[in-house]
Chains A and B, each alone.
Chain A
Amino acid sequence: MQFLRRHLNPLSFFAVSYLLFLYVPVLLLPLFSFNDDIYVRLPLTGFTLQWYKNLMNNTSLLSALWSSVQVGIGVSLVSTLLGLMAARAMTRYRLPGRRGIYGLILLPLVIPYMVIGVSTLVILRRMLDVDLTLWTVGASHVLITVPLSMLVLMARMEGFDRSLEEASRDLGDSAWKSFRRVTLPLVMPGIVSSFLLCFITSFDEYLLAFFLAGSDATLPIFIFSSLRFPNKIPDVLALGSLILMVSIVLVVFAEWLRRRGVSGSDSSVI
């Protein structure tokens, strides 16, 4: 009684409802993916692995998944590389027109994807006559993920003393060697964060993919189109649960890597 009275204030009520609102739908996903009812509804009727088995045989789903993974990995590699160069230029050199360049790189964050999608489509199809493939999807995803990557990496680079790089030059490193021996290890946690962030962003991006994908569907496109057929929903639930699990593993792994990487005084950034 005492306990309840002390903790039942409006703020904790808000906090608890917020958490429930946030996580209950996500947790229902795995729950229903093991339920042997084709409709998502309570009460649960029985345990089954049927939907997971279906997944393995659903070739169009698997190929959409594979497309998304390919695009995601490519996009996060390219964006992180570009982001790294941009972040280095922003934080380490006196660039003329630095603010303007910074703004231009960040701009795609605030342009509606619809606008980017339509204009890219027009340019690619009407003006350049490029076929729509996963490459075009990837290119548009790079556009929206480079700013994310640059922001993450800039925060990381500003987070450590730039005289560390000077010290390594002073101790005999060439510019490239200094980058490899000092800068890279110190920004590594940022690189991992950037890679994950770009991957996730690309992986569940729907609008641009919808405009630019051509005949190869990515996973979000496939899922949206499946929703029209009720009998496919359990498969999607099973797939969602698997993706959820992989994300959790990835996040835990990234966090572990970050703590292991630099447990130095400046590890607080990102």
Chain B
Amino acid sequence: MAAANTNSMISLRAVTKRFGNFTAVDAATFDIAAGEFFSLLGPSGCGKTTLLRMIGGFERQSTGEILIDGEPMGTRAPNQRPTNMVFQSYAIFPHLDVAENIAYGLANRPVDKATIARKVAAALEMMRLDGLGNRRTNQLSGGQRQRVALARAIVCEPKVLLLDEPLGALDKKLREEMQIELRQLQKSLGITFIFVTHDQEEALSLSDRIAVMARGKVLQIDTATALYEHPNCREVAGFIGNMNFLEGRIAGVEGGLAAIEIGDGQVVKVPANGQAAAGGNAILAIRPEKIDAHGSATAPQPGTNAIRARARASSYLGDRSLILADWRNGAAPVSVSLQNRKSLSGDGSSGIGIPGPDSELWLTWPVEAGVLLTS
């Protein structure tokens, strides 16, 4: 087993969790740096909560090891770990008032009453809960309950804060406010956050890095930009944002570019990702907003990819228009998203208007905008 990286706060070494025959988390291996805002993102049931609960000590891993700040956690109980958790349901103690809730963890520390009172007051102020200290918790709004749960964990000054969909129960507006607050809080405290969410926008906007999970496996760990621009597999590409997939065969690799035959004799180029070999099957992934649509009369420019297509349907969405275009019999249509920069004249020409149904199109995109997926 490799020694933990010196500046990594959390190290997971092949952490696996099985429930009977079912593998909920499969050999998760990655490091999280101190002070990082790290998100676990994935569809429902992919094992995010299970992984988080293993880090917090609520669930014992079947195999593998978890190190926090260089120390192996082994079978330590939650109260023996330098982590605190914000539960999805908030888990606010109903028999205690707001201040007692926040002070709960401090009672287990060797600190005197005056210090506790001071820390609770500071936490109330920081979380904008001033004056609510003596409230019963059933008299709080959703956002306030959420902040009590956060305050209660933060006063314990954990090395790592675990958050299980902490914003899931809030309405959209409150959610957006809390996202900003959460990010500021994390920056100012410098605590490592591990944040579970199935909302990709939330993960993309908040996180330093994101681990995308599916079926218990960690598929890719990267920054938001890297995940969006350079997904490493079809699943990640499809899960984050919208993506077109053009299936074909690698005809050749030259100068860092792979030429892909996508049927009907059409060949497009894409940056080769190192392991591309001629003859293999490949998928070219391209985002709808990176494609431009031109009327059929316009000749494609050299240095860009271009394929012939026929508009099937289009819709006007105000800021942009969506076009669905058929490009090859039997293949899924390509969707194209066009920014509506100029006022529309409705003549369907050169990518600023909406092409009418059945109009002939050239779909073009810069060679470097595509992503080659070899699996």
Contact = CB atoms under 8 A, between A and B. Distances in A.
Whether chain B is bound by chain A comes out as yes
Interface of A: 160-161, 163-164, 166-175, 177, 181-182, 185-186, 261-266
A167 B91 contact: yes
Contacts of A264: 94-95, 136-138
B107 to A, nearest CB: 8
A170 B85 contact: yes
A266 B79 contact: no
A167 to B, nearest CB: 4
B108 A171 contact: yes
Nearest to A160: B94
B239 interface: no
B48 interface: no
B125 to A, nearest CB: 20
A161 B89 CA distance: 8
A166 B56 CA distance: 10
Which of A160, A170, A263, A266 has its CB near the most chain B CB atoms (within 10 A)? Answer: A170
Given A170-B78, A264-B136, A264-B138, A164 B93 contact: yes
A164 B88 CA distance: 11
A186 B91 contact: no
A170 B58 CA distance: 9
Interface string B76-98: 01110001110111010111000
B156 A172 contact: yes
A265 B94 contact: yes
A175 B78 CA distance: 10
A163 B91 contact: yes
A186 B95 CA distance: 7
Contacts of B77: 169, 174-175
A171 B95 contact: no
- The 10 A-B residue pairs with the shortest CB-CB distance, nearest first, are A264-B94, A172-B108, A171-B105, A167-B91, A163-B91, A169-B78, A170-B78, A185-B95, A163-B87, A172-B79
B152 interface: yes
Interface string B138-156: 1000000000000011001
Nearest to A175: B77
Contact of A170 (B84, B95, B136): B84
Contacts of B79: 169-174
A174 B324 CA distance: 59
A156 to B, nearest CB: 13
Given A166-B78, A263-B136, A171 B94 contact: no
Given A166-B78, A171-B105, A264-B138, A161 B95 contact: no
Given A170-B56, A170-B79, A173-B79, A262 B104 contact: no
Nearest to A186: B95
A166 B91 contact: yes
A182 B104 CA distance: 11
Which of A177, A261, A264 has its CB near the most chain B CB atoms (within 10 A)? Answer: A264
B365 to A, nearest CB: 48
B91 A265 contact: no
